[in-house]
Amino acid sequence: LLVRRRQQLRGPARLLFSLGYKNVLGRGFALVRDETGHVIREAAAVKPAMALELEFADGRVRAVATKKSRVVKGKEKTKPAARPDLQRQGRLFD
């Protein structure tokens, strides 16, 4: 009975571990805190010359905000131009 219960708890335990913030940092994210240690969730909360602490998977570094960057959105996909030789193609079963 105890062995079965232990096996039943392994799945949720693995899920909990994978969602832990340290594991998220290991996937390339960083945690940003202000000088008092409070987590900053939005760029709008950062002011120029504000002292920050960045936490990565392998440690923490101090930083100072300079100015807001402009948000770069992904490029919209454009349809490739139709090739002229395909526009004159006939029908296959005529």
What pLDDT shows up at residue 28? 92
Q: Quick one: which of 25, 30, 65 has its CA closest to 44?
A: 65
* Structure tokens belonging to residue 54: 């960045």
Is 18 a member of any domain?
yes
CB 69 within 8 A of CB 46: no
* Structure tokens belonging to residue 36: 């008092």
* Structure tokens belonging to residue 81: 């131009």
Q: What are phi and psi of 46, to 5 degrees?
A: -95, 130
Is 85 a member of any domain?
no
For 16-53, write each residue's pLDDT tens digit: 777 788 888 988 999 999 999 999 999 999 999 999 99
Number of structural domains, the chain?
1
Q: Quick one: which of 67, 68, 41, 36 has its CA closest to 52?
A: 36
What domain range includes position 50? Answer: 2-69
Is 46 a member of any domain?
yes
Is 17 a member of any domain?
yes
User: What pTM, to 2 d.p., does this model score?
Assistant: 0.57
